[in-house]
């Protein structure tokens, strides 16, 4: 892999994740290739630990999440764990725990890039949709096949998918349960770009580094404004944007950014 710059360095060890770093970009790999990177409770718990650590670490400006091997990003929830759920309360808790992670990921003041290298099905598709930017390999496919197991999406598929692809297509994907290709996902607006498999991580890192070079303060405010604006009406979103724009204007990064532009030099952003 050509990262086009800094060498990647290994970070903290986890049971189900591999963590690497390329400058200010942290790369998280779900590492359960024998079960197509299924999202066990351990995976979800360790992903939450990573998100918490990234939020507290000023040296991390972008997260990339991908899957190990060449077959799957994450092929869904761990079916053995689903089989072991015995009651409606068990199911509610299982879903609630996943929502807790994915909402925390959405609230993370740093962008999350999903590099989808293969199957992104069920919980895997829902994990991808919790990211801010979704890049896909030509071999990737997406779907919500829970209906085939007699259940419904439980990690956000019933509300994130309609927001991205529209109500009727989401209904089809959830009720029929078929997969769609990476190219169709791009045409629907589910993913940002589709590239050959050997270019996927390079593209994610390149994009991550580009974002990491921007003002952390502005990136945080922009992500928050977009996510919160989607949940409210247009007039309220305009008021919200004005508030966050004002906050951005008051930062040291704004002073540095405008000064650097006028002085025809590269800005040195600090996040303040």
CA dihedral of residues 165, 167, 170, 174 (deg, nearest 10): 170
Residue from 15, 146, 187, 228 carrying the catalytic annotation: 146
Tell me the pairing of strands 112-116 and 62-67: parallel
**Phi then psi dihedrals of residue 92, to 5 deg:** -60, -45
Contact 104, 63 (CB under 8 A): no
Residue from 126, 138, 172, 263 carrying the catalytic annotation: 126
Helix (H, G, I), strand (E, B) or coil at 21: strand
Contact 227, 240 (CB under 8 A): no
Contact 16, 7 (CB under 8 A): no
The dihedral region occupied by 21, where left means phi > 0, alpha psi between -120 and 50, and beta the remainder, is: beta
**Angstrom distance (rounded) from CA 268 to CA 224:** 23
The dihedral region occupied by 233, where left means phi > 0, alpha psi between -120 and 50, and beta the remainder, is: beta
Neighbouring-strand partners of residue 113: 64, 133
Task: List all residues 6 or more positions away from 237 whose beta carbon is below 8 Å from its beta carbon.
Answer: 228, 229, 230
Q: Is 146 a catalytic residue?
A: yes
Active site residues: 126, 146
């Amino acid at each position: 892999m050509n990262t086009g710059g800094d060498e990647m360095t290994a970070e903290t060890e986890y049971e189900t994740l591999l963590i690497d770093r390329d400058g200010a970009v942290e790369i998280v790999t779900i590492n359960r290739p024998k079960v197509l990177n299924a999202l066990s409770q351990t995976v979800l718990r360790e992903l939450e630990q990573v998100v918490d650590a990234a939020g507290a670490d000023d040296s991390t400006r972008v997260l990339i999440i991908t899957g190990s091997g060449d077959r799957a990003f994450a092929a869904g929830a761990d079916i053995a764990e689903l089989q072991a759920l015995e009651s409606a309360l068990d199911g509610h808790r299982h879903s609630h725990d996943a929502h807790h992670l994915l909402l925390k990921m959405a609230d993370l003041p740093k962008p999350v890039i999903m590099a989808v290298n293969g199957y992104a099905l069920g919980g895997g598709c829902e994990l991808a949709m919790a990211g801010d930017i979704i890049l896909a390999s030509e071999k990737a496919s997406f779907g919500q096949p829970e209906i085939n197991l007699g259940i419904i999406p439980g990690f956000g598929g019933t509300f994130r998918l309609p927001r991205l692809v529209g109500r009727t297509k989401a209904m089809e994907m959830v009720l029929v349960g078929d997969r769609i290709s990476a190219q169709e996902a791009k045409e629907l607006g589910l993913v940002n770009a589709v590239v050959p498999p050997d270019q996927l991580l390079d593209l994610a890192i390149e994009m991550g580094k580009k974002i990491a070079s921007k003002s952390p303060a502005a990136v945080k405010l922009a992500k928050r404004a977009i996510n919160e604006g989607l949940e409210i009406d247009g007039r309220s979103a305009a008021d919200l944007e004005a508030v966050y724009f004002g906050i951005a204007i008051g930062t040291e990064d704004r002073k540095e950014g405008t000064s650097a532009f006028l002085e025809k030099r590269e800005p040195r952003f600090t996040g303040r």
